[in-house]
């Protein structure tokens, strides 16, 4: 798969991101090199390779779920824009 400048601009428009004209050239080269690498990976025969969930040969340890507030409630609430003792006060965004 190969991308040209027009496809990059179209993808940027669909993703609603702005791409400067000066950056389109380098972005095109970068994405094309990424796609070439992906195509190389697709050529590998992985039929006899077991999928990995971890590099370690161990199963995940279970732990009991415990709910707590972390013990730092006061520190977190200091970041609130308005003074309140129990929760953040934010401006209304839905009418």
pLDDT band at 56 (very low <50, low <70, confident <90, very high): confident
Q: Is residue 61 part of a domain?
A: no
Task: Report the chain's mean pLDDT, rounded to a whole number.
Answer: 86
pLDDT at 29: 92
Per-residue pLDDT band at 30 (split at 50, 70, 90): very high
In a domain, 12, yes or no: yes
pTM of the shown model: 0.49
Contact between 9 and 19 (Cβ < 8 Å):
yes
Which residue reads 């025969």 in tokens? 45
Please report where in the chains the tokens 């791409």 appear, as a residue.
Answer: 19
Q: CA-CA distance, 40 to 35, in Å (whole number)? A: 9
| Mean pLDDT within 11-29 | 91
Q: What is the pLDDT at residue 36?
A: 94
Q: Is residue 38 part of a domain?
A: yes
Residue 33 lies in a domain: yes
For 72, the 3-state DSSP assignment is coil
User: Are the CB atoms for 80 and 89 separated by under 8 Å?
Assistant: yes
In a domain, 60, yes or no: no
Q: Does residue 76 form part of some domain? A: no
Number of domains in the chain: 1
Task: Identify the domain containing residue 19 by its residue range.
Answer: 5-42
């Amino acid at each position: 798969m190969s991308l040209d400048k027009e496809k990059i601009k179209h993808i940027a428009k669909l993703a609603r991101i702005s791409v400067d004209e000066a950056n389109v050239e380098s972005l095109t080269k970068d994405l094309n090199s990424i796609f070439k690498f992906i195509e190389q990976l697709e050529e590998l025969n992985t039929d006899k390779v077991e999928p990995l969930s971890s590099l370690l040969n161990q199963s995940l340890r279970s732990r009991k779920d415990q709910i707590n507030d972390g013990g730092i409630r006061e520190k977190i609430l200091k970041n609130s824009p308005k003074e309140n003792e129990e929760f953040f006060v934010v401006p209304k965004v839905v009418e």
